[in-house]
């Protein structure tokens, strides 16, 4: 493989697109300091994947883009393309030519292309790995790399041997294995933490489960005696109820008799009341009619007064509108006049601006014309001078060549002619054989390339699938570890929530019995939706009130309280919806809060709940204000005179009355915090389940694809092997034919050329030599004239520059004048726009005035007709009012007589009511006693049904304890025993089963991880063995080559490479021992500067000899050598050119003398590099 070309466009100082074609042999790149030579090396390093801006002499990567110069603006893109001749398929790409392109834009966007197709940086790195062509490989050797050899520590020098040994991919595999090992260790650590945590939970849960079972056994006995007590009480109550019914029946008869007497009196009162109601009804109708008539008269009088007022207002408004109309029309005429004047002034200003713009344009054109023309002439003269100088050098070479060639051609002319005839005969015989072999090889190569391309595609696809599968496995392990932790935590919180473990005992028991009890809505904590921002504040304020239970009504609360008393579960606060009274801050206080700093809002407005629970929310939080800090809380409390409760987001409270509470509080152990964490964890678990399922599904698909690709590769491998062997055999035969044919053709061509050149040189030598001498003299004369004319043009340019300076001052004055005129024009235009706007508004006003006058005139006629009609209607209403007043007086006299009769009857009815009340009270007392017995009986029956699922008839058939004394004693003993057990976690039985099951599962998972870790350790050990083997083999080869090349480069002496730790090939350093001629054997660090540099170069040559690369770029590596060593250095490069292609950046003449091609880098324009090439052979 060979380096074919390099194209730079916008990279550093190469602003213009520059293409460099590289030839076989030694290419030297020369140029003055700062001309951009090293930019070529950096361009190659950059296009091969360099990611460090510092390595490219920059602070950040966009610094490689051309930054601009005095003559050219900065560019927004840098692009470098390097092309290789890949006809030997050195690179794993099935094309004869490989082009790698890298682009970088000013915004940081980067692109990589391989044969004009977009790829990733990783693809480029993988393509070049272990080929010796990477950005840090031995194909790019700078003076810094030479210094690195002799300045680095022995341990650091081993990297040179490692790179030559091709073990970078093994080190990468080992790093990957180490990464997996670290991940496995992380998984093990997490699993171990969880196992350790669970191990600490198993034993306590086991004890709690045992206590829970003991509790359930005693609870069963307690239930037996409580049931016996209930059945005994039911039987006793049933007997008492029979006696009570007889007493109730007698009292009911007495109450009925007194009720009949009271009913008769009530009938008489009712009849009298009906007569009174009729009179009152007629009286009310008469009064209503009279009031209606009076109201109508008042209404008509008001309308009459309003009509008169409107008439006065209309007359005044007409006068005002006539005046305003006249004033507006006069003002409209004035505005039109002003508008006309401003438009004329605006047109004049526009003419002035146009004139100034024309002058500015003319002045700029004059400035550009003279300077541009003279610059063009100077540039043409410079190009002519360079061309003449190049031609002069060429003519000198031609004269020397002609002299030597003439002498050589005279000696060999006769021998060449005879040899030419012999070669022509051999060529005819060989041509036929070569054509047959070439056709065979071409066909075999085509078939082989097709199979290799298919095989490589499958291999690349297999690698990609393996990498993706490995990444999926890593993602699964990571995701599964996090999922297990999150699910365990979520299960724990959910268990606590479902069992109400974080509630008081009484609250917990009521909530657990929600299905048995009626009307239980839930705890306050369950019913509130609190934003996380204010959760701490709400939790602090409510405190124990969060465990209050909301119920539908008082009966539900009463039933729950009875349940608590019956089972001795403690006390609970209930909030019935029907009785709870909401609180509310006065509107004045709410308005005052809006003006206070740091006030977030009223708690009841920030917390959400169902509409049915809104009164409960307002009862608890409507008078609580939330602020952001305790400082603002103090200010707010003072403003509100310490009448309301203020709480900060941190939970500091100022109570009504002025007391304060606060301090440290754990933020994650309250009911609200735990509910919020439970919700968040549940959502996270669901999301993680979906992610794990997706990862597992994708992993299965990748595994199936891997198996399919492996099967295809296995079938294709024998075919490729067979085709390769056939192609290699045919290619070997063809190569022999080609070598023979090529050899004959080269000899024949050379002989023909030499014969022709010899004849031509002998016949035309004198004429060519004379012509060359004459041309040299003419070139010398022309150069003198061109240089003189160049100097003259330079002086003219300086004079024109001075004139241009004065013209630029005049141009600036014109531009300033133009700016003033533009500003005046803008001001005038603004005035015109304002006048037009005012004229439009004034026209609208005129139209409004005229419309209003028309309307007022029409309304005047209508109001005159309305006034006459009002007078007639007022006279009719006055007559109707007199008739209604006479009728009202008669009805009032009749009502007074009926009221006197009703008073006498009321007195009799009152005495009878007192007698009836005494009888009724006795009856109600008996009913109340009966109801109490019935309620007790119903309650006991309901308890019997709900708690024990028994009817009274079935209970009577049961065998129970009938001795009430024994029942009471056993109940006391069992309750005392249960109380001594303390808090019992009934959920511990199931929790122990769940935790123990998870503990066993994670223990097995930990064992799987340990086995995976052992496999990784085994893989790393195998990689280490391979690295040791390759390192040892390569070191011995390089050490032998180093010992061989050293005396050749130094002209004597000896040197060797030694391992600092021969028993530790993975970490050992490399010591360089050298003995230049005339000196003793010593370490590299003790040699002189030049000896160090040359020894380092010897080591690099030794590495290149063992690990050949297609091309090598040397950047001033011989800078520290003297002339003699430079010459030996250059001669050695020429010897290496048979194996590799060399590109050398140098200042040394000795290196230039041995170059086959010479490139020059110049900066004819400031900051812009250009290339000049000369072929020397």
- CA pair distance 395, 147, nearest whole angstrom: 42
- Give the whole-angstrom CA distance, residue 217 versus residue 221: 7
Left if phi > 0, otherwise alpha if psi is -120 to 50, otherwise beta: which for 713?
alpha
* Residue 36 labeled ligand binder: yes
Residue with tokens 């090889």: 441
- Pairing label, strands 1168-1175, 1157-1165: antiparallel
Q: What residues contact 342, with CB distance under 8 A and at least 6 apart?
A: 828, 831, 832, 835
1173 annotated among ligand-binding-site residues: no
d(CA 1126, CA 1150): 6
d(CA 314, CA 312): 6
Give the integer Cα–Cα distance in Å for 590 and 640: 10
CA separation for the pair 808, 798 (Å, rounded): 15
Tell me how far apart the alpha carbons of residues 603 and 534 are, in angstroms, rounded to a whole number: 9
On whether 35 is known to bind a ligand per the annotation, the reply is yes
For residue 38, say whether it is annotated as part of any ligand binding site: yes
How many residues are listed for the chain in this entry? Answer: 1177
Task: Report in angstroms the alpha-carbon separations of 626 from 596, 644, 668.
Answer: 12, 11, 20
CA-CA distances (angstroms) from residue 565 to 226, 308, 556, 569, 572?
13, 82, 14, 7, 11
Pairing of strands 574-576, 549-551: parallel
Question: Which neighbouring-strand residues pair with 1054?
Answer: 1075
C-alpha 659/C-alpha 642 separation (Å) is 9
Tell me: is residue 33 an annotated ligand-binding position. yes
Give the span between the Cα atoms of 322 and 326, in whole angstroms: 6
Residue 324, CA atoms < 13 Å, CB-side half-sphere: 17
How is the chain split among helix, strand and coil, in percent rounded to 5?
75, 10, 15
The DSSP H or E segment spanning 100 is strand 97-105
Query: Roughly what angle, to the nearest 10 degrees, separates helices 154-165 and 168-499?
Result: 100
Side-by-side strand order, sheet with 624-627 = 599-602, 624-627, 645-648, 653-654, 660-661
**Beta-bridge partners for 522:** 550
| Cα radius of gyration (the chain) | 56
Beta-carbon contacts of residue 136 (< 8 Å; ≥ 6 apart): 163
- In angstroms, the Cα distances linking 920 to 242, 264, 910, 927 are 21, 18, 15, 10
Q: Where are the beta strands (DSSP E) in 635-674?
A: 645-648, 653-654, 660-661
Beta-ladder partners of 1175: 1157
Inter-residue contact 441 to 786 (CB < 8 Å):
no
Residue matched to tokens 């023909």: 752
Strands (E), 269-376: none
DSSP string, 853-887: HHHHHHHHHHHHHHHHHHHHHHHHHHHHHHHHHHH
Q: Is the dihedral angle over the CA atoms 291, 297, 302, 303 positive or is it negative?
A: positive
Nearest to 11 by CA among 3, 50, 488: 50
Query: Residue holding tokens 């699922």?
Result: 949
| Neighbouring residues of 879: CB distance < 8 A, sequence distance ≥ 6 | none
Closest by alpha carbon to 741, among 432, 429, 430? 430
Tell whether residue 352 is among the known ligand binding residues.
Answer: no
Binding-site sequence positions: 32-39
Binding-site sequence positions for ATP: 32-39
């Amino acid at each position: 493989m060979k380096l074919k070309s390099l194209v730079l466009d916008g990279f550093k100082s190469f602003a213009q697109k520059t293409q460099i074609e590289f030839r076989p042999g030694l290419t030297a790149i020369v140029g003055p300091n700062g001309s951009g030579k090293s930019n070529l090396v950096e361009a190659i390093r950059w296009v091969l994947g360099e990611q460090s801006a510092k390595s490219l002499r920059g602070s950040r990567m966009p610094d490689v883009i051309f930054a601009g110069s005095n003559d050219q603006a900065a560019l927004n893109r840098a692009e470098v393309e390097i092309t290789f001749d890949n006809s030997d398929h050195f690179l794993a790409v099935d094309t004869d030519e490989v082009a790698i392109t890298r682009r970088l834009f000013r915004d940081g966007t980067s692109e990589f292309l391989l044969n004009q197709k977009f790829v990733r940086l990783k693809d480029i790195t993988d393509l070049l790995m272990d080929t010796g062509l990477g950005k840090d490989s031995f194909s790019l050797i700078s003076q810094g790399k030479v210094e690195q050899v002799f300045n680095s520590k022995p341990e650091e020098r081993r990297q040179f041997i490692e790179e030559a040994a091709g073990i970078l991919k093994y080190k990468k595999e080992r790093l990957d294995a180490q990464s997996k090992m670290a991940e496995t260790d992380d998984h093990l650590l997490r699993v171990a933490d969880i196992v350790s945590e669970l191990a600490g939970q198993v034993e306590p849960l086991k004890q709690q489960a045992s206590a829970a079972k003991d509790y359930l056994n005693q609870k069963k006995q307690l239930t037996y005696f409580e049931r016996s007590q209930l059945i005994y009480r039911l039987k006793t109550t049933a007997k008492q109820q029979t006696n009570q019914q007889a007493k109730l029946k007698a009292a009911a008869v007495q109450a009925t008799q007194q009720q009949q007497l009271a009913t008769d009196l009530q009938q008489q009162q009712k009849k009298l009341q009906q007569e009174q109601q009729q009179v009152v009804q007629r009286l009310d109708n008469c009064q209503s009619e009279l009031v209606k008539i009076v109201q109508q008269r008042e209404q008509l009088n008001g309308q009459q007064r309003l009509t008169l007022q409107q008439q006065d207002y209309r007359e005044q408004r007409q006068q005002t509108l006539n005046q305003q109309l006249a004033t507006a029309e006069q003002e409209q005429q004035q505005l039109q006049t002003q508008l006309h004047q401003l438009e004329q002034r605006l047109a004049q200003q526009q003419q002035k601006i146009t004139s100034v713009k024309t002058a500015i344009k003319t002045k700029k054109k004059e400035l550009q014309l003279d300077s541009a023309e003279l610059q063009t002439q100077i540039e043409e003269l410079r190009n002519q001078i360079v061309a003449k100088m190049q031609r002069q050098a060429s003519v000198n070479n031609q004269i020397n060549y002609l002299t030597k060639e003439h002498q050589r051609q005279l000696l060999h002319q006769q021998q060449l002619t005879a040899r030419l005839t012999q070669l022509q005969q051999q060529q005819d015989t060989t041509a036929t054989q070569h054509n047959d072999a070439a056709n065979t090889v071409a066909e075999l190569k085509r078939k082989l390339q097709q199979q290799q391309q298919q095989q490589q595609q499958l291999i690349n696809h297999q690698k990609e699938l393996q990498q993706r599968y490995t990444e999926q496995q890593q993602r699964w392990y990571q995701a599964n570890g996090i999922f297990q932790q999150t699910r365990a935590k979520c299960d724990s919180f959910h268990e606590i929530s479902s069992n109400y473990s974080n509630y008081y005992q009484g609250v917990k028991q009521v909530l657990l019995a929600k299905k048995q009890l009626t009307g239980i809505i839930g705890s306050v904590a369950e019913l509130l939706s609190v934003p996380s921002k204010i959760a701490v504040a709400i939790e602090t304020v409510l405190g124990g009130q969060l465990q209050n239970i909301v119920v539908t009504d008082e009966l539900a609360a009463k039933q729950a309280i009875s349940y608590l008393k019956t089972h001795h579960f403690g006390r609970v606060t209930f909030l019935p919806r029907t009785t709870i009274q909401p609180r509310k801050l006065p509107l004045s206080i709410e308005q005052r809060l809006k003006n206070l700093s740091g006030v977030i809002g009223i708690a009841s407005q920030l917390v959400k709940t169902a509409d049915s629970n809104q009164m409960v929310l307002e009862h608890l939080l409507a008078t609580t204000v939330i602020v952001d800090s305790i400082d603002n809380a103090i200010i707010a409390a003072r403003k509100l005179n310490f009448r309301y409760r203020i709480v900060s987001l941190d939970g500091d409270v100022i109570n009504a009355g002025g007391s304060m509470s606060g301090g440290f509080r754990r933020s994650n152990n309250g009911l609200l915090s735990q509910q919020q964490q439970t919700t968040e964890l549940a959502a996270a678990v669901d999301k993680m389940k979906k992610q794990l399922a997706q990862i597992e599904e994708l992993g299965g698909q990748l595994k199936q694809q891997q198996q399919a690709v492996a099967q295809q590769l296995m079938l294709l491998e024998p075919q490729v092997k067979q085709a390769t062997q056939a192609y290699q055999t045919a290619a070997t035969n063809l190569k022999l034919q080609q070598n023979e044919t090529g050899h004959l053709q080269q000899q024949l061509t050379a002989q023909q050329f030499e014969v022709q050149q010899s004849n031509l040189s002998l016949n035309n030598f004198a004429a060519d030599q004379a012509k060359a001498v004459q041309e040299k003299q003419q070139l010398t004369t022309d150069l003198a004239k061109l240089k003189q004319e160049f100097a003259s043009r330079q002086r003219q340019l300086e004079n024109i520059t001075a004139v241009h300076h004065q013209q630029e001052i005049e141009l600036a004055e014109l531009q300033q004048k133009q700016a003033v005129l533009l500003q005046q024009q803008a001001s005038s235009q603004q005035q015109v726009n304002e006048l037009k706007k005012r004229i439009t508004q004034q026209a609208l006003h005129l139209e409004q005035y005229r419309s209003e006058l028309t309307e007022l005139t029409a309304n005047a006629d209508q109001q005159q007709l309305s006034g006459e009609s009002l007078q007639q209607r007022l006279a009719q209403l006055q007559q109707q009012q007199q008739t209604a007043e006479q009728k009202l007086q008669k009805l009032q006299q009749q009502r007074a007589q009926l009221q006197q009769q009703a008073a006498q009857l009321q007195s009799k009815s009152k005495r009878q009511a007192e007698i009836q009340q005494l009888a009724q009270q006795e009856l109600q007392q008996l009913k109340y006693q009966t109801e109490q017995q019935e309620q007790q009986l119903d309650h006991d029956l309901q308890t019997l049904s709900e708690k024990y699922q028994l009817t009274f008839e079935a209970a009577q058939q049961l065998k129970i304890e009938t001795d009430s004394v024994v029942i009471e004693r056993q109940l006391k003993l069992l309750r005392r025993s249960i109380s001594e057990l303390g808090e019992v976690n009934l959920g511990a039985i199931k929790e122990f089963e769940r935790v123990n099951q998870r503990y066993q599962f994670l223990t097995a998972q930990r064992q799987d991880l340990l086995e995976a870790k052992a496999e990784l350790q085994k893989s790393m050990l195998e990689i280490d063995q391979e690295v040791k083997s390759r390192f040892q083999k390569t070191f011995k080869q390089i050490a032998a080559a180093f010992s061989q090349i050293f005396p050749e480069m130094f002209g004597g002496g000896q040197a060797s490479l030694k391992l600092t730790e021969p028993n530790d090939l993975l970490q050992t350093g490399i010591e360089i021992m050298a003995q230049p001629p005339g000196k003793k054997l010593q370490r590299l660090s003790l040699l002189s500067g030049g000896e160090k540099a040359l020894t380092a170069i010897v080591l690099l040559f030794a590495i290149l000899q063992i690990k050949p690369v297609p091309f090598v770029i040397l950047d001033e590596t011989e800078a520290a050598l003297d002339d003699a060593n430079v010459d030996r250095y250059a001669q050695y490069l020429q010897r290496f050119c048979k194996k590799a292609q060399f590109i050398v950046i140098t200042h040394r003449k000795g290196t230039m003398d041995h170059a086959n091609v010479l490139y020059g880098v110049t900066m004819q324009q400031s900051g812009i590099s250009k290339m000049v090439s000369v072929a020397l052979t």
